[in-house]
Structure 1
Amino acid sequence: MNIDLLVKNVQAFNTIKQKFEKKNVAISGEKFYYISAQELDSLNPEQVIEGNGRYMIPGLIDIHMHIESSMTTPTIFSKSVLPFGVTTVVADAHEMANVFGIDGLTEFMAADTEVDIFHAIPSSVPSTTPELETTGGIIGLAETAELLENPKIVCLGEAMNFKGIANEPESLIRQIIDLCREKRPTMPLEGHCPKIYGEDLAAFLYSGISSDHTHQFPDSLAEKIESGMFIQFQNKSITPENMAVIVDNNYYEFACIITDDVMADDLLKGHLNENLKKAVQAGLPLEQAIYMTTYTPARRMGFNDRGIIAPGKLADFILLEDLESFAIESVYKSGKRMYTKGDKVSYPAKIEEFPPSYLKSVKCRKLTAADLKIPVKTEKSSVRCNVIQKQEIGTFTERITKELPIKDGFLDWENSDCALLVVMERYGKNGNIAYALMEEPIKENGSIGTTWAHDHHNVMVMGTTSEALLKAQHELLAMQGGYVVVGEQETLAVCPLPIGGILSQAPIEELGTALQNVRQAMQQLGYKNMNEIMSFSTLSLPVSPAIKMTDKGMMNTRTQEFYPLVFPEDGVIG
C-alpha cells in the first residue's frame, strides 16, 4: 500500500497502557494508518523519517480556553500556539460575545486557522443579568438555538451564574441549559463553580452541568470528582497538593489540564505545554500528564477522532527530543509538518477582516475632575465605607470596612490609604458610572485603566489621584481600548487593543512586549499579584468571589446584592 509518511523507530505513546513503546508509525493522508513494532516492509511511503529514539505523543488538546485572553485573533493565535504542540482547542469566546453579541462570535468562527478551533456556546453573556451589568451583546435562547445548529459548536461554555443555576429554575441560564439538553442531550455542559460545596454543589450538578475549571483546592477536589464532576486544571490549580489528590486516588480519567487564560506576553513562552510541564513538576507522572492533555480532554468533548496514536485517528502529533525537558522538535497537524525547531512564526499576508465598527466600539464620555469628587451628606468628619481588598494570589477579593475622612462635604479618598475604582458603561446605552474603593492596591501614586474588564468589558480605571485617573481614562478612550498605566507625572505603559477594546492584530511578539511593559509598570507602582493583569481585569467579574464591580455598582457576587459605598447610617452620597 502507498502511504504518505513513515516514522521509523520512534518511542510512541501508547495511550491505552499510558507508556512509551518503540514503534513504526505509518500515516496515510490526514490519519494514522498502522502502528507496529514490526518493520512495515509491505508499505510504500512517500517520505520516511528516522525516529532515532525520539518520542511521539498526540497533539495537545485544550478544551477550555479563551482566545481573547491572549488579546489576539484566531488566525494569529493559531500560528502562535502550533509551535507549542497545540493542535486542537475549544474556545469559549464569551468576551467577544459580551462586546458584540452573536455577530462577534460568528466573526471568530469564520476565521481561517491551522489549529482545529471548535467553539462553546457562550452561556454567560452577560455573566449575571442585564439588571446587574451592561454588556454590548446578549446571548439568549434565540441565539443559543441558532448556535446549536452550527457544527463548530461542541459544548455549552462555562455557566457562571450560581444563583440562577442552583436556585432559580426559570432563570435565563437554566432555560439555556434545558434547551441544550433538549436539542443535544449528550453535549457537555461546562461549569464555573468556585468554592461550592455540599448541597450547593449538588444543586449545581443537578442542573446538568458536569465540569469545573476554576481555582481548585484539595479539601473540595475529591468531593467534586466523586460527585461526578470533570475537573479541568488551569495554571493556578496545578499545585503539589491538588496533584497528590489525583495521584493518590487514581483520578486520571476524571480530569484534564487546560489553559483557560494565557496572556499575550506569556504566549511568547508557551501555552498548554507549560501547564503540562508544571503538572509534572508538581508531582503528576509524565505519562499521566500527557494522557490528561490529549486523551481525557478529547473524550470529554466527544472527539473520538483524535487524542490517541491509533489507526484511523487524526495524525496530529508532536516529536519530542527528550521527555525530561519536553523539548519539541516538530509538530504535525493532520499528517503535515507545521513546525520544526528553530522556525520563526510567519503570519499570513491576509488576516481576519473585522467590520469597521469593531474599531470604534468604546462609546464613553471623558471623565472630568468633578466626576471624581464624591459628595457625602453627613454631620460626621469621617464615614465608614465598604472597601475591596484584593489578594496577592489568585483573583478572589474580600469586603472590608474602612473609615475615610470627609473634607468640605466630599469623601477625601485621595488622603487615605484607599484608591478609587471607577467603572463606566462604554456601549452608549445608559452612561452609568459606578464607584468603589480599594485598600492600597498600589504603593506609589498613579493609575491603571483597561477596557479588558471581565466580562462586561466596560471602561475600568483605578488610581490614587484624580490627575492620574483622568489621564488614564482619557488615554484609554483615545486609543479605543486596551491597557494603560500612569505614574505620578507620566504614562508608564500602554497596550492598545483597538478591536472591541479587547483584541489586537499586531504580531504576537509586538503585542506580548507591550503587555509585558504594562505588567512591569504595574509592578513599578507596587501592584502585587501572581498575575497582575488578570487580578486587575477580574475586579469587574461579578461571578468571582467575593466582591466585584460592574457599571451598576459594587456587588456581593454570591447574593448579587450591591453594597453602598458609604454606610447609610453614616452618610448619603449625593
Structure 2
Amino acid sequence: MSSRESYTSIINKRAAEKQQLMRVASGRERAELVLKNAVYVNVFTNELSHGDIAVKNGVIAGIGHYDGVEELDMQGKVVAPGLIDAHIHLESSLVAPAEFVKAVLPHGTATVITDPHEIANVLGTDGIDYMIQATEGLPVEVRFMLPSCVPATPLDESGARLDYHAIDPFYDYDRVQGLAEMMNYTGVIQGDVEVLQKITAAHKYHRRIDGHAPGLSGKELNAYVASGVYSDHECSSMDEALEKLSRGQYIMIREGTAARNLKALAGLLVPQYYEHCMFCTDDKHPNDLLHFGHMDAIIRKAVQKYHVDPIIAIKAATHHPARYFQLASRGAIAPGYQADFAVFDNLSDFNVEMMIIKGKIWYQEGRLEPFNVPAVDEWLSDKVHHTFNLEKLTEDSFENVRSRGVIGMVPGEIVTTDAGYASEVNAADDILKIAVIERHRHTGHIGIGYLKGYGLKEGAVATSISHDSHNIIVVGSNDDDMAAAANRIIENNGGIAVVNQGQILGEVTLEIAGLMSEKALTEINDALENAKKQAKILGVSEGIDPFMTLSFMSLPVIPELRLTTRGIIDVVKQQYI
C-alpha cells in the first residue's frame, strides 16, 4: 500500500467513525455506553452540571438524555474528567511502567506527562526508546517530554550525552509533547549555544518547553522566560511563583514524594491566579502510591487541608494541564472529548469508585481489569538489564590519602552546606565517608568525600539511584562494608543495599537500568521498607529517607556541595574543591 493509499484509508476510517458519532450525538443511534443521571464537573462553567453522558468509540457523543447498549447509573456520585499528572519521572516509582499504571489507575489517573530523564542519563536515546515501547498501548496514556539535560552539567559523568541532534528525531513520535525541564538555566541565561539549540528545535516543532529554575528572579528570570521556557515546577514560595506567573509562566504546583510545595502555593488556587496553575508530582515513590494515591491525593489535600474550591482543584489536575500541553481532546467532559472519567464518591473525600478511559471501564468496586504488558524489542530489553560496566570493588578502592570536603546535610532539605574538611571517618561526630563510583564506561573513577548529618553509626548504605547520572553512591563507616554494599548492587544489576560487617541486611533489586524493577509494586515496597528499617537500625537519623536523601548528594545542580565521580563540587562556582 502506498503512503497516499494509507493516508486515504486512515481518513476514510476516521470519517466513518465521525458518522457513527454524529448518529449517536443526534439521537438517531444508541450509544455504546451511557453514564445515566450524571452529576459532572463542568470545567467551562466552573460548576456541577447534570445529564446523561453518551459515549461512542471512546469519545463523548453528547450530554442530555440518551439511551445506551450499556448504561451505568451515576446517582449519588460525581463524574470528573480523567486526571492528568503534568510532570513526573516514572522511574521514581521504582517499577516498570506497566506496574506504575496498575498503581495509579485506581486513583483516577488517565494521562501522565513523563520526562525519561533518569533512564536517558544511563542509556541515552536507547533509554527513551525503552520507555516509549514499554508504555505503548497502556490504559493510562503516557506522553513524553524529551530530556533536556543529559548530563545535568559538564562536570558529571553519565552514560550518555544528548545534544539536540540526538533528541530531534523523537519529535516525530505521536506521544512526544516537547522539551522537558530545562535545568541548565545558567546556560540559557548565558546564551550557551548547545542549550539554545535544544530550545530552538522544540520551537521549530511548536512544542512546549518546561522549566526548572528554583529561586530565579529579576532580569535573569526575564532572560530565561524570553528564551521560550513556558512553565516552572520548582517554586517554593508565593513570591517566587507570582513573579514567574507575572512573566507569563505556567506554574506546576508540585506535591510528590521528594518535594512538596502545595502548602506554600495553595494561595495560587484562587480566581485571580488559578487559570495558569496545574498539579504535578515530579517523583512518586512506592509507599506514597500504595498508601496515599496519586493525583487524587493532591486534590483531596488541597480541598481538605487548604480549603481550595473543589472545582478549581479538579481543573488543576485536568483541564489546565490538557490545555497547557495542547491535548485538545482531554481534560473536560463535553461532546467530542475523549471519554476519560474519574468517578468520585463526593467532592470532599474524593474516593475513586470507578475509572473509565476511552469509554472502557478499567476499575470499579475495587477491581482492576487486566491489560497486556507492552512488548519491548529483545535487544533493547537485554541492554536495559545490563548497564553496569565496572570491576569488583575492594576496601582499597575507597582509600583516602588527603583531606576532602565535607557535605553538610540540612534536615528536611536536599540543599547542603559546606561543612569544612575531613581526612577520616568520625562516627561519633557524624562524619562518614561517601563515594560516587562511575559505572557506565569502565573509567575507574571514584569520587571520595565526607558527609555530615546522615547519622549512620556502623555499616554502609549504597544505591544506584543517584541523580542525575545514576552512578553508584555509597556512604559508610568503614571501607569494607562500603565495598560490600557497592558490589551487591553490581551483582544485582542495580538497586539498593544495606550492609553491616559484610552481611546484607536489606536490599532492593532494580534490574532495569539500575532504576526500576519488573516486580510488583507491593513487593518492591516491602523490600524498600525493610531496607529503610535496617538503615535506621544502623543509625540513620530520624527524618531522613536513607536512600532518597542519599541519591541527591550527587546532583551537581543543587547548592552548596555535591559529590561526583571526580570529587566534591562547589555547585555555585561549578568547580571542584
Fold conserved between structures, TM > 0.5: yes
Specify the code of the residue in structure 2 equivalent to 1:518: A
- Matching residue within 177, 182, 193 for 2:213: 193
Partner Cα distance (1:66, 1:75) in 2: 14
Q: After superposition, what is the alpha-carbon deviation per residue over 1:290-330, rounded to whole angstroms, capped at 9, x for unaligned?
A: 01000101011001101000000000001112222111110
2:169 is paired with a residue of what secondary structure?
helix
Q: What's the TM-score, normalizing by structure 1?
A: 0.89
**Equivalent position of 1:11 in the other structure:** 39
Are 1:62 and 1:88, in contact at CA under 8 Å, matched by a contact in 2? Answer: yes
- Matching residue within 541, 544, 547 for 2:561: 547
Specify the code of the residue in structure 1 equivalent to 2:139: E
Q: After superposition, what is the alpha-carbon deviation per residue over 1:264-313, rounded to whole angstroms, capped at 9, x for unaligned?
A: 23222312221222222233222111010001010110011010000000
- Matching residue within 198, 219, 234 for 1:214: 234
Matched, 1:507 2:531: no
**Equivalent position of 1:104 in the other structure:** 127
**Equivalent position of 2:244 in the other structure:** 224
Cα pair distance change 1:356/1:86, threshold 3 Å:
same
**Equivalent position of 2:173 in the other structure:** 150
Q: After superposition, what is the alpha-carbon deviation per residue over 1:68-102, rounded to whole angstroms, capped at 9, x for unaligned?
A: 11122222222221111111111110111111111
Partner Cα distance (2:450, 2:480) in 1: 17
Q: After superposition, what is the alpha-carbon deviation per residue over 1:131-167, rounded to whole angstroms, capped at 9, x for unaligned?
A: x111112221211221122222111011111221111
**Equivalent position of 1:570 in the other structure:** none
1:126-525 correspondence to structure 2 within 5 Å: 126-129=151-154, 132-170=155-193, 172-181=194-203, 183-184=204-205, 186-235=206-255, 236-247=259-270, 250-269=272-291, 270-280=293-303, 281-343=305-367, 346=370, 348=372, 352=376, 354-376=380-402, 386-402=405-421, 404=422, 411=424, 416-487=429-500, 490-524=503-537, 525=539
**Equivalent position of 1:569 in the other structure:** none
Specify the code of the residue in structure 2 equivalent to 1:127: A
Partner Cα distance (2:543, 2:371) in 1: 33
Partner Cα distance (1:532, 1:219) in 2: 32
Percent identity reads 28
Are 2:158 and 2:470, in contact at CA under 8 Å, matched by a contact in 1? Answer: yes
Cα pair distance change 1:187/1:497, threshold 3 Å:
same
**Equivalent position of 1:380 in the other structure:** none
Are 1:62 and 1:257, in contact at CA under 8 Å, matched by a contact in 2? Answer: yes
- Displacement, 1:413? 5.0
- Matching residue within 121, 125, 137 for 2:150: 125
Q: After superposition, what is the alpha-carbon deviation per residue over 1:460-489, rounded to whole angstroms, capped at 9, x for unaligned?
A: 101122232122112111111101122457
Q: After superposition, what is the alpha-carbon deviation per residue over 1:424-479, rounded to whole angstroms, capped at 9, x for unaligned?
A: 11013422110121113124322210111111011110112223212211211111
- Displacement, 1:209? 0.9
- Displacement, 1:335? 0.6
Are 1:265 and 1:511, in contact at CA under 8 Å, matched by a contact in 2? Answer: no
Specify the code of the residue in structure 1 equivalent to 2:328: N
Cα pair distance change 1:27/1:318, threshold 3 Å:
same
Q: After superposition, what is the alpha-carbon deviation per residue over 1:26-49, rounded to whole angstroms, capped at 9, x for unaligned?
A: 11221111123xxx1xx4410111
- Give the total of aligned pairs: 539
Partner Cα distance (2:140, 2:89) in 1: 14
- Displacement, 1:348? 4.2
Cα pair distance change 1:207/1:275, threshold 3 Å:
same
**Equivalent position of 2:69 in the other structure:** 46
Unpaired runs of 5+ in structure 1?
Answer: 377-382, 564-574
Partner Cα distance (1:523, 1:214) in 2: 30
- Displacement, 1:508? 1.5
- Displacement, 1:22? 2.6
Partner Cα distance (1:303, 1:110) in 2: 21
Partner Cα distance (1:530, 1:242) in 2: 24
**Equivalent position of 2:9 in the other structure:** none
1:23 is paired with a residue of what secondary structure?
strand
Q: What's the TM-score, normalizing by structure 2?
A: 0.89
Partner Cα distance (1:468, 1:421) in 2: 12
Partner Cα distance (2:546, 2:244) in 1: 29
- Displacement, 1:363? 1.4
